[in-house]
């Protein structure tokens, strides 16, 4: 069994660097004691370099997005090489909040994914349907995966992490409620099938598939055991040091 990975998506939080540093300091002892779970923190761009410089010997860091060019007249964007020089190893791509609020398209996600993989970053590709109890897993998730992975070869895709994060389960969405482990397992099986069709069974089995959407210490065990997920993408709960460490400890068990 692969070791699980827990990824903290801080989104546009916290408001100050002092708060960000304090949060990492509070997390550090619990994270370093846990040897069975890989923990990745994804703060906003503006805090990444300072936090990574101070804590990267103990914690892995990721970014919440990346652009597909290494340089040029792209105001406000951040390149893969900039992330690497800031001590970043992981990058979240295709999060539904970027699709909903910022108009990000499958074509853009595909370009970002290619650029991240070619630069040696480990992308965390988010996929998920908008409506609960719909037939969105085969229809929507399958299309998202195929569009995102278009033109990307087997050698590059081996480092990929896929996060199944149904939009309706994300804590910032109205009426959000975590998915069930059973449904998450169905999604995992389907995603693995799509990956196997694209890259072969052996490569597909090497790609981690994790769950995201209202993850908490109360439900993480179900997603890892019954849902057979290999980790989690944690949003709101990652901003509470005690709660996030409970998630990490549960994943380690």
pLDDT tens figures, 172-227:
787 789 999 999 999 999 999 999 999 999 999 999 999 999 999 999 999 999 99
Taking the C-alpha atoms of residue 119 and residue 68, their distance in angstroms, rounded to an integer, is: 10
Please name the residues in contact with 29: beta carbons below 8 A apart, sequence gap of 6 or more. none
Structure tokens at 5: 């990975």
- Does pLDDT of 40 surpass 90? yes
- What is the pLDDT, as a whole number, of residue 114? 98
Average pLDDT, the chain: 95
What number is the average pLDDT over the span 92-107?
96
**Locus of tokens 């779970």:** 37
Q: Give yes or no: 131 in active site.
A: no
Domains of the chain, by residue range, sit at: 4-240
Return the pLDDT at 134: 62
Distances (CA, A) of 5 to 34, 61, 107, 224, 231: 11, 12, 27, 11, 5
The pTM (predicted TM-score) of the whole model is 0.96
> Tokens representing 124?
């965390």
Distance separating alpha carbons of residues 28 and 6, to the nearest angstrom:
14
CB 50 within 8 A of CB 17: yes
**Marked catalytic residue, from 104, 129, 165, 230:** 165
> What stretches of the chain show up as alpha helix (H) in DSSP?
17-33, 45-55, 80-85, 96-102, 106-118, 136, 142-148, 154-157, 181-199, 201-206, 220-225, 241-252
Q: Which of 19, 95, 131, 205 is catalytic?
A: 95
Domain 4-240 listed as CATH 3.40.30.10 = no
Residue 140 DSSP label: I
- 165 in active site: yes
Polymer length of the chain = 253
């Amino acid at each position: 069994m692969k070791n699980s990975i827990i990824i903290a998506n801080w989104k546009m939080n916290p408001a100050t660097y002092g708060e960000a540093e304090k949060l990492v300091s509070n997390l550090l002892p619990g994270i370093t004691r846990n040897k069975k779970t890989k923990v990745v923190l994804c703060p906003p761009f503006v805090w990444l370099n300072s936090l990574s410089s101070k804590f990267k010997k103990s914690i892995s860091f990721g970014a919440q997005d990346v652009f597909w060019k290494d340089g040029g007249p792209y105001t406000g964007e951040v390149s893969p090489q900039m992330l690497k020089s800031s001590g970043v190893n992981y990058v979240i791509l295709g999060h539904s909040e970027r699709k909903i609020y910022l108009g990000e398209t499958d074509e853009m996600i595909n370009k970002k994914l290619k650029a991240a993989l070619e630069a040696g970053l480990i992308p965390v590709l988010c996929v998920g349907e908008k409506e609960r109890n719909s037939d969105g897993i085969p229809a929507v998730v399958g299309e998202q995966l195929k569009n995102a992975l278009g033109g990307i070869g087997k050698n590059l895709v081996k480092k990929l992490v896929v996060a199944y994060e149904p939009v309706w389960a994300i804590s910032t969405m109205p009426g959000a409620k975590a998915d069930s482990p059973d449904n998450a397992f169905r999604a995992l099986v389907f995603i693995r099938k799509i990956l196997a069709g694209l890259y072969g069974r052996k490569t597909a089995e090497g790609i981690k598939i994790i769950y995201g959407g209202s993850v908490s210490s109360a439900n993480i065990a179900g997603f890892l055991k019954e849902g057979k997920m290999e980790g989690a993408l944690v949003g709101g709960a990652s901003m509470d040091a005690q709660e996030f460490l409970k998630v990490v400890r549960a994943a380690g068990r």
